[in-house]
Chains A and B, each alone.
Chain A
Amino acid sequence: MNAAAPSQEDYISGSRLERILRAGRFAVTAELNPPDSADPQEVYDAALVLSRVCDAINATDASGANCHMSSVAICALLTRAGYEPVMQVACRDRNRIAIQGDVLGAAAMGVKNLLCLTGDDTSAGDQPEAKRVFDLDSIHLLRTVKIMRDQGQYLSGRKITQPPRLFLGAAVNPFVQPYDWRPLRLAKKIQAGANFIQTQYCFDVPRFRTFMQQVRDLGIDQKVCLLVGVGPLRSDRAAEFMRTKVPGVVIPDEIVDRLRKTPSEKKQEVGKQICVEIIQQVREIDGVAGVHVMAYRQEELVAEIIEEAGLLPRPRQPKAPDPDPFTQERKWKRGTEDTQ
């Protein structure tokens, strides 16, 4: 990545996340817990807490195959209020036609960061009887959006008059088998078009160090901005649930034991402390460009974690939420004219 400050033209998307990462600043993103509600205020309440301490907010796409407000709708609300979302798109629920349409629509609403995922299987969720789609896989999705962005066309070859400007993200999980394949899979994702990476929860720092060593040996650490996924554990029971029920989450026994030995009133505090320690450890690893905080149902802890990890203040104050969407729309239009 180019460390010199590029002009607006040089940016892939011009998103705040891209600007921070390409300036070589340590980035912080956080996951918004999507509401089970039709009230937009619930999205804004959750976003307000996060926006003060992070550079971009991830809107999940029915993660764990559980239905919540859709990522595209959350992003619409967030961009309207001037927040910077990372829209997650999973291949589980939609085929290539629906996904390409959603990507265009999201870009039209001001979404500039897109995280391309395969998605948890339907069997992981509370409606396992649903049909799984998986028309594309995450690498197909990355390349498809890259084609839309860089070549200005759909997969059919039909032209897109104004291509979407998107900073493309992908996920990696270095903590599950086949371990030696994981860096090669990252290489495939970069080849397919990934500009940034958000990893699965990192609780096993030695494993992650080995992975990053392999990534550096392949010479691909400079070709992508890698954000490490972290999050607090509420208790040893929560940890046990996550590592047995949530696909792809690996938590070493030492961490579960440490929580188990902690008196119950202190468990949440220790869980937070473990998270802060992990951030401080991974920050020292070469090739790590930021962290991605996922605090499921513990949003109130995100600000404390980021502060205690010494990651405040964030570069540039986040814009204050704007209750009038029309102002934002005008700003967005002006923004696009500037870049043309």
Chain B
Amino acid sequence: MAVTNILMVGVGGQGIILASTILAEVAVANGFDVKKSEIHGMAQRGGAVSSHIRFGEKVYSPLIPAREADILFGAELLETYRWLPYLKPGGKIITSLQKIDPPQVFRGEMKYPAGLEEKLRERDPDLIAINALEEAIALGESRTATVLLLGALSHLLEFRLESWLEKVKDLVPRKAVEINLQAFQRGRELAS
């Protein structure tokens, strides 16, 4: 069986590391060998964050080879676009439409690039683009936006739904289990 490659990207503080841990644990629960690699370190200070998740019968390298990502999962629009070169031809994209200004933009030295959603759609006509932050705020907790996107991702992967729900329950903060499960289900609905 070929290895499935998922690249998850976003901005420090958005919960990419948590989301990628949930995905990796779900893959383990479904009987796969899994490797995951990410760069922490400076993540908390608003820098770009990326996490490589690979699963299959046997996985060697923890890094996704160039242009081999089956799915690109982005919690911030510019970050999704930044990592687009990793996507394989015919690969799928799930992105939040949330925009977080990088330093040169908030300092007024550059503009936030326009037309990114269209550029993503050129690569994946079935692009799943979600106003994840607004949806999460509507549910009552802005911090569930990335778990909401994870719900959308679950629609593209053949893992048992119970295994997703179980790992979300296990890994999100204990006080926020219910709201995260709601967000996950909402994301799954939006993608279907």
Q: Do A and B bind each other?
A: no
B residues lining the A interface (CB < 8 Å):
none
